[in-house]
């Protein structure tokens, strides 16, 4: 066994030596050519080069967008509010057993966010937008993002709910790459479009978060009324959530109006291409007044006591609805304002309004508390009609339910 093992080792060495010598005697083979593998996805960016006289660059809409879009901003607001929440198990128990033994309530923080559009109306940083975009913005965090992607802190300066217009301000100074102060690009409200029905219009804004979007259409009509708001412009340009507060401009880049709202349904039927804007001349006058108030050159108008107006014109006596008051009346807390009384002989009394009803909306405005009653009620004159949405809490046996009531009253 030992000799056989030694012989095997010698044989192996001899074979290895023969292979080595054979390899040295062969000419070197050329290396195979390296072929580049074609990637499955092309990552090379190609940049198109357009001549200055390219017809696309001379299209009126393209020129108008290049003039107006730098002045358009994205508005992002955030506010933390406290909500009073009732334990669901307590509600279930009380509905079945008809008592208020268990009525545990606790505060819950809720973050409310809003996304909209605005545009600079002067070089110092004043921004015009819709009031409903930054409603109650005194406690809001407002972030303003410009076309170049820079973000600034914004402050709420002034607003009017009945006009649905608000003025914001950027406190930081715009600077170039050299650190030199520059002016913000703005849309001149002193040079508005003539607003002729049938003219081309362009809506600029940030629909559903898509920043710096453009849609076009025509001016479909003027002096439209939606709910309690009148004098609006109608357009078929695409105005979607997030477009609110953005500019509607003509093919010269001049201000046509401020995008405000759209109608998606009418009498339960879907509608398309029906949107509305606040006329540019109305917005221009409002901006001048608002900036003057912001600079202390003019006093703001006296606040309207809407509670007194409802009492005087309609005979409705209101009271804030609190959780304790709702419990005393035998129903769970809901948003709205309690009707505590009606004046004898008033429109409210003649229409059958009773104490204990909860006012939820006036016209198109939702009323969550007394402070949310729309200020435009101060402009109501005798003979004007107002639509109220009310809720009547009712209990049948151990079951509590709420009946919605829509009522029209004529002011005296």
pLDDT in tens, 158-196: 988 778 999 999 988 777 777 777 889 999 999 999 999
Structure tokens at 28: 């070197």
**Can 67-170 and 200-294 be said to share one CATH topology?**
yes
Catalytic residue among 132, 193, 260, 346: 132
Q: Buried b / exposed e across 337-353, counting CB within 10 Å, b at 16+?
A: bbbebbeeebbbbeeeb
Percent with pLDDT over 90 in the chain: 35
Residue pair 349/315 in contact (Cβ under 8 Å)? The answer is: yes
132 flagged as catalytic: yes
Give pLDDT, residue 369.
81
Catalytic residue among 114, 164, 215, 250: 164
For residue 162, indicate whether it is catalytic: no
Q: What is the pLDDT of residue 166?
A: 94
pLDDT (0 to 100) of residue 379: 74
Arithmetic mean of pLDDT, 220-225:
92
Residue 48 or residue 406, greater confidence: 406
- Domain locations in the chain as residue ranges: 67-170, 200-294, 306-410
| pLDDT value of position 80 | 54
- CATH 1.10.40.30 applies to domain 306-410: no
For residue 127, is pLDDT > 60? yes
Q: What is the pLDDT of residue 132?
A: 87
Separation CA 380–CA 233 (nearest Å): 23
Quick check: 87 pLDDT over 70? Answer: no
- Please tell me the predicted confidence (pLDDT) of residue 65: 96
Which numeric CATH code is attached to 200-294?
A: 2.40.10.10
- Answering whether pTM is above 0.75, one says no
When pLDDT is cut at 50, 70 and 90, the band that residue 79 belongs to is: low
Residue 19 pLDDT > 80: no
Q: Sorting pLDDT into bands at 50, 70 and 90, what band is 140?
A: low
Highest mean pLDDT among 106-115, 168-177, 392-401: 168-177
Residue 307 has pLDDT above 70, yes or no: yes
In this model, does residue 25 exceed pLDDT 70?
no
What is the topology classification, in CATH, of domain 67-170? Thrombin, subunit H (2.40.10)
Lowest mean pLDDT among 132-141, 202-211, 238-247: 132-141
119 by Cβ neighbours in 10 Å (0-12 / 13-18 / 19+) ranks as buried
Cβ neighbours around 237 below 10 Å, total:
24
Report the half-sphere exposure of 376 (CA within 13 A, side-chain side): 16
Other CB atoms within 10 A of residue 63 CB? 14
Q: Taking 80 as the threshold, does the pLDDT of residue 354 lie above it?
A: yes
Which of 245, 143, 150, 264 shows the shortest CA–CA distance to 203? 245
Report how far Cα 72 is from the mean position of its chain's Cα atoms. 15
* Whole-number pLDDT of residue 256: 97
As a whole number of Å, the end-to-end CA separation of the chain is 128
Mean pLDDT of the chain: 79
Active site residue 216: no
- Check residue 194 and give left, alpha or beta (phi > 0: left; psi -120 to 50: alpha): alpha
Q: How many CB atoms lie within 10 A of CB 42?
A: 8
pLDDT tens-place string over residues 113-125: 668 999 999 999 9
Contact, 208 vs 242, CB < 8 A?
Answer: yes
Of 18 and 212, more confident: 212
Structure tokens at 66: 């290049």
Q: Which of 237-241, 270-274, 363-367 has the highest mean pLDDT?
A: 237-241
Catalytic residue among 193, 213, 244, 260: 244
């Amino acid at each position: 066994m030992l000799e056989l093992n030694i012989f095997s080792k010698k044989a192996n060495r001899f074979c290895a030596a023969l292979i080595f010598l054979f390899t040295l005697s062969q000419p070197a083979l050329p290396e195979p050519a390296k072929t580049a593998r074609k990637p499955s996805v092309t990552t090379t960016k190609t940049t198109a080069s357009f001549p200055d006289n390219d017809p696309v660059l001379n299209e009126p809409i393209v020129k108008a967008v290049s003039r107006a879009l730098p002045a358009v901003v994205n508005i992002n607001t955030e506010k933390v509010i406290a909500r009073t929440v009732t334990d669901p198990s307590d509600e279930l128990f009380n509905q079945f057993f008809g008592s208020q033994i268990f009525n545990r309530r606790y505060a819950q923080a809720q973050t409310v966010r809003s996304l909209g559009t605005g545009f600079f109306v002067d070089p110092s940083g004043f921004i015009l937008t819709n009031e409903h975009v930054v409603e109650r913005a005194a406690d809001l965090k407002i972030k303003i993002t410009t076309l170049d992607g820079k973000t600034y802190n914004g402050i709420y300066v002034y607003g009017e709910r009945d006009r649905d217009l608000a003025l914001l301000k950027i406190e930081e100074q715009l600077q170039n790459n050299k650190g030199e102060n520059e002016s913000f690009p703005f849309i001149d409200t002193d040079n508005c479009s003539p607003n002729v029905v049938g003219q081309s219009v362009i809506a600029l804004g940030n629909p559903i978060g898509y920043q710096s979007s453009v849609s076009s259409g025509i001016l479909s009509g003027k002096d439209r009324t939606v709910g309690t708001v009148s004098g609006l412009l109608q357009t078929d340009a695409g105005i979607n959530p997030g477009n609110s507060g953005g500019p509607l401009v003509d093919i010269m880049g001049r201000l046509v109006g401020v995008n405000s709202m759209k109608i998606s349904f009418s009498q339960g039927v879907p509608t398309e291409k029906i949107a509305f804007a606040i006329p540019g001349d109305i917005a221009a006058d409002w901006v001048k007044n608002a900036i003057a108030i912001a600079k202390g050159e003019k006093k703001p108008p006296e606040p309207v006591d809407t509670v007194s107006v409802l009492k005087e014109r309609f005979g409705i006596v209101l009271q804030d609805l609190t959780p304790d008051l709702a419990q005393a009346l035998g129903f769970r807390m809901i948003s709205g304002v309690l009707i505590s009384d009606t004046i004898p002989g008033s429109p409210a009394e003649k229409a059958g309004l009773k104490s204990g009803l909860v006012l939820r909306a006036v016209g198109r405005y939702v009323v969550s508390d007394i402070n949310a009653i729309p200020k435009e009620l101060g402009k109501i004159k005798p003979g004007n009609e107002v639509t109220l949405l009310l809720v009547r809490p009712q209990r049948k046996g151990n079951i509590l339910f709420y009946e919605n009531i829509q009522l029209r009253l004529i002011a005296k």
